[in-house]
Amino acid sequence: MDILNKQNARIVHLERKYVTVIKELKLLKDENKNLTHQLDIKKTVLQKLQYKVCKEKKSIKNDINLLKATDQARSQDFIALNTVVQSTSHKLHNVSTMLESNLQNVMIRAIGARKDSSYIIQFSDIKESYGISNTTNFILSGKFTCDDAGLYILMIIVFADPSGADVNLYKMQ
């Protein structure tokens, strides 16, 4: 019986170990299930993050491409503006040169005025004239005739008695 008791004791011990192992196995299965669930959640979060990172990366690439295109466009605009500035500068230089070559100083200084019946002031004494070809006509008629078409700046100084005087300039057709 001793052997039988030993074997029974061994069986009881093994059964207890078996029950303990089964409990531990159940605990490990539950823990494994819990860890698997947490891993699935983390995988889902990771996939979402990867998708978001990929989307942001594409957005950044698009922004970079847009900036490159804008930079190229501004560069072309700058080149075009530089060309326009150079062209305008050249044209301005040409106009300035043309104005300088066409500029003529014209001047007449006369005194001794008298007024005729048609109220035209005539000057009998020309003190100075420059650039005017026909001063005789000015003396006889009181009318200044421009030899060349262009812009004329006229300055007239007339001294009158205290009652005042009016001066009118007319452009002849």
Question: pLDDT class for 173, splitting at 50, 70, 90?
Answer: low
| pLDDT tens track for 54-72 | 999 999 999 999 999 999 9
Distance CA 66, CA 95 (A): 42
The whole-model pTM stands at 0.42
pLDDT tens digits along 86-112: 999 999 999 998 887 777 788 888 887
77, pLDDT greater than 90: yes
Phi-psi region of 120 (alpha: psi -120 to 50; beta: other; left: phi over 0): beta
Q: How many CB atoms lie within 10 A of CB 135?
A: 14
Residue 33 confidence (pLDDT) above 90: yes
Round to whole Å and give the CA distance between 117 and 143.
14
Task: Please give the DSSP secondary-structure letter assigned to residue 113.
Answer: E
